[in-house]
Structure 1
Amino acid sequence: MTDTPSETIGVEHRGAVAILTMDRPTKLNAMTPAMADRLVTVLQRFAIDDAVRCVVLTGAGERAFCAGSDIRQLDEFHTPWAFRNRADYCATIRTFPKPIIAAINGYALGGGLETAMACDIRIAATTASFAAPEIKLGWIGGGGMAAGLSHAVGPSNAALMILTGDSIDAATAERWGLVSSVVPPGELLDAAVAMATTIAARAPIAAETAKLNLKAAWTMPLNDAIAYEKDLQTICFTTEDASEGRAAFKEKRAPVFRRR
């Protein structure tokens, strides 16, 4: 099922999986303020929609996932304060409570790379490439570039990408840990949807809690993170879905999770 068409962000549903497509292929899916607003609005809607259990984010066309912000429109922010407070779609992705997978079909540049890193899992086509090119234009990334790359590829590789602005190919991204897998372009979306469908079949409260737990593992001191994990586990264990999981195991059948 497809929602009302949009020239900026396409929305499609396949069961409990929602596919969001940055749809501006003639401009390498460069993000405009209108696209950012639309992406934020759609994700906010999905966050409270129990019918959506996992999201796939990709780009239209064969050339690009997203080439970052549309540089031609950046001068429309008339003050530094307006620029600083523009719609932060990367923050919305990072704080989205449900699992979200990036299917990276081509260029992931600047804000496009930050968008991919804000997702929980990244799968790339063999034709994908990744860069933090802002330094070539006189500025740096502002959507989590340094933090995301440092966590994903390590401080030395992050410094290499940010200080040169040069790109890496999909094979290097996989070797460095920036993406989980690399597949042929024609198989990318199906692979991402298959993974999303598997995740969507899991207990949704547990999946959302697992996201919280993973973020805590990065941001909390070790002892605090482990204590937090125990608390989260206790919360999950008391849900109806956990009871259903235990019953299904005993009865040797597939569980039916209802997000309760």
Structure 2
Amino acid sequence: MATPLTGQVDFEVHGKVAHLILNRPEKINAMTVTMDEQMNSYIYEINNNLEIRSVLLYGKGEKGFCAGSDLTDLGEYGSNWEYRNRFDRNLDYARAIWLIKKPVVASLHGWVIGGGLEMACASDICVASPDAKFLAGEIRWGWHGGSGQTQLLSHRVGPGNASLFLLHGEPVLAADALRMGLIQELVPREEVLNRAIVIAESIAEKAPIAAQMTKHMVRISQSIPLETGLLYENDSFAYCMTTEDAAEGQRAFAEKRKPEFKGR
């Protein structure tokens, strides 16, 4: 009998920030089907709990953020056709990150490989340490990633840089990932998680409707023509201005105090 694979995805809520924690450090947080199921089980709570306003994503252990899927566990997804339809079965952890409506801040260190890279691409803001190494090495084994690797990465860093990742199949260092725009900040290893927490908590203090609409509009900008996007942005802005939070923001500005946003 095969030895059961250990590891889990922990879910914690600290104030207004939900923490998604990959907890399989002995395997560089390589994702199993069980961990995939756990990740997907948290998304409904994150999207529908009004107390949660932002999300922090990180992996435990010194070796890295995530080594992607555990290839020894892929058979647990079922047949090739069942694996192809994993989106419909809520069985894709990178897709789960993409489906989070609230801003996601990822803290990255060490190895960020395959599905780990896809989770980073599905996040809104990435903070990394200098030891971070990004790898889309699937091409070396006969396939490419299937959960955003060719699409989200291309949107994030441009087609030429994405092709370097995907076709060359060699590690990309943190400094180059910063230059390409894959990550937004590069900070010392001992500070990377704390910096990501600061950003996530700062976002959580903002008006939640405006924050979610802003995330939505940034995504929209990647899919529609600029002129259409500008019109859509104006409509989104007009909606935000009808909220109680917008009225509170205006009062707080006039009264020179910190606003108290309620998400209404």
The TM-score with structure 2 as length reference comes to 0.93
Runs (4+) of structure 1 exceeding 3 A deviation are none
Q: What are the residue-to-residue correspondences of 1:11-50 with 2, within 5 Å?
A: 11-50=11-50
Q: Are the equivalent residues in 1 in contact too, given 2:248–2:260 (CA < 8 A)? A: yes
Query: Match of 1:146, SS?
Result: coil
2:249 corresponds in structure 1 to 245
2: CA distance between counterparts of 1:224 and 1:89?
32
Q: Which amino acid aligns with 2:39?
A: L
Range that drifts further, 189-198 or 69-78: 69-78
Deviation at 1:95, TM superposition (A): 2.3
Match runs of 1:50-199 below 5 Å: 50-86=50-86, 87-199=91-203
Separation in 2, partners of 1:237, 1:78: 48
In 2, the alpha carbon distance for the partners of 1:31 and 1:77 equals 12
| More deviation, 241-250/80-89 | 80-89
205-214 or 35-44, which deviates more: 35-44
CA distance in structure 1 between the aligned counterparts of 2:165 and 2:243, rounded to whole angstroms:
44
Maintained 8 Å contact 2:33/2:77: no
- My pick for the range that moved more, 165-174 or 13-22, is 13-22
The alignment's TM-score, normalised by the length of structure 1, stands at 0.95
**Residue 218 of structure 2: which of 211, 214, 218 is its match?**
214
Q: Which SS does the other structure have where 2:143 is aligned?
A: coil
1:156-175 deviations in whole A, cap 9, x for unaligned?
11111101210111111111
Q: Distance in 2 between matches of 1:38 and 1:25?
A: 17
Q: For residues 238 and 154 of structure 1, what CA distance do their matches in structure 2 show?
A: 36
Structure 2 distance, partners of 1:94, 1:254, is 31
Question: 2 CA distance for matches of 1:234 and 1:153?
Answer: 31
Aligned-partner Cα distance in 1 for 2:37–2:236: 32
Cα deviation, 1:173-221, whole Å, max 9, x if unaligned, reads 1111110011111111110000111111110000000011101111011
Partner of 1:3: none
Q: What letter is aligned with 2:228?
A: D
Letter in 2 for 1:123: V
Identity of aligned residues (%): 43
Q: Measure, in 1, the Cα distance between the counterparts of 2:61 and 2:76.
A: 27
How far does residue 20 in structure 1 lie from its aligned partner after superposition? Answer: 1.2
Q: 1-side partners of 2:51 and 2:161: how far apart?
A: 39
Aligned match of 2:3: none
Residue type at the aligned position of 1:15: G
Structure 1, unaligned stretches of length 5 or more?
1-5
